[in-house]
Amino acid sequence: MASGQFDLSGKVALVTGGNGGIGRAIALGFADHGASVAVLGRNEERNSLVVDELRAKGIRAMALQADLGDRGEAQPAVQRVERELAPHNIQVNAIAPGWTETEMTRRMREDSARYDWSINRTPLGRWAQPEEMAGIAIFLASAASNYVTGTTIVAEGGFGLS
């Protein structure tokens, strides 16, 4: 568990898409730093697997099945988390990840022409790992970012520079 500015003990994190890829890495990273975690995702089985991983770390965790593309499902899910976990002092920020190695991007990686194009255009010469996005999320959730709100952190290996 982290201490100092990156200790998330007593905080609650709501991670959309937290049952796979980048979202799962962020949820586990939050747990490693002491936060309670609520995962929102469409797949109940994958939600349950991640909640088991989170609870194994000794933190409070819950999952809600919701399709956040459906406003009728998203709002009640968020309200339930608010009721059950009651977070305060909420800042709203976002992460804009570039190409990241997840199940969602598997087909792009298997297409050698498209994959090579993306690698050659990225100054770092590689795709991100999901855990690299977790560090940004931990920063945004921590005391180290208390004066950061309403911003988007772009993490794309320099892809946008080309």
Mean pLDDT of 1-28: 90
Which residues make beta-bridge pairs with 37? 13, 61
- Tally of domains within the chain: 1
Q: What is the pLDDT of residue 66?
A: 83
Q: What is the pLDDT of residues 110-142, one digit of tens each?
A: 999 999 999 999 999 999 999 999 999 999 999
d(CA 25, CA 95): 13
Q: In what order do the strands lie in the sheet with 12-16?
A: 12-16, 36-41, 61-65
Q: Is the pLDDT of residue 74 over 80?
A: no
Whether the pLDDT of residue 148 is over 90: the answer is no
Q: What is the pLDDT of residue 83?
A: 63
Q: What pLDDT score was predicted for residue 11?
A: 87
- Give the Cβ contact number of residue 4 at 10 Å: 8
Contact 41, 23 (CB under 8 A): yes
Structure tokens at 104: 């969602």
Q: Look at residue 85 in the predicted model and tell me its pLDDT.
A: 53
Residue 162 confidence class, pLDDT cut points 50, 70, 90: confident
Residue type, 130: P
128-131 contacts: CB < 8 A, separation 24 or more? 128/97, 128/98, 128/99, 128/100, 128/101, 128/155, 128/156, 128/157, 129/25, 129/100, 129/101, 130/21, 130/22, 130/24, 130/25, 130/26, 130/100, 130/101, 130/102, 131/25, 131/29
Q: Is pLDDT above 90 for 53?
A: yes
- For residue 150, the enclosing domain spans 4-161
Contact 37, 59 (CB under 8 A): yes
Q: Tell me, what CATH number does 59's domain have?
A: 3.40.50.720
pLDDT level of residue 70 (50, 70, 90 thresholds)? confident
Residue 140's contacts (CB-CB under 8 Å, 6 or more residues apart) are: 91, 93, 95, 148, 153
For residue 35, name the pLDDT band (cuts at 50, 70, 90): very high
pLDDT of residue 94: 81
Report pLDDT for 78: 65
Please report the pLDDT score of residue 82 as a whole number: 60
**Under 8 Å CB-to-CB from 52, ≥6 apart: which residues?**
none
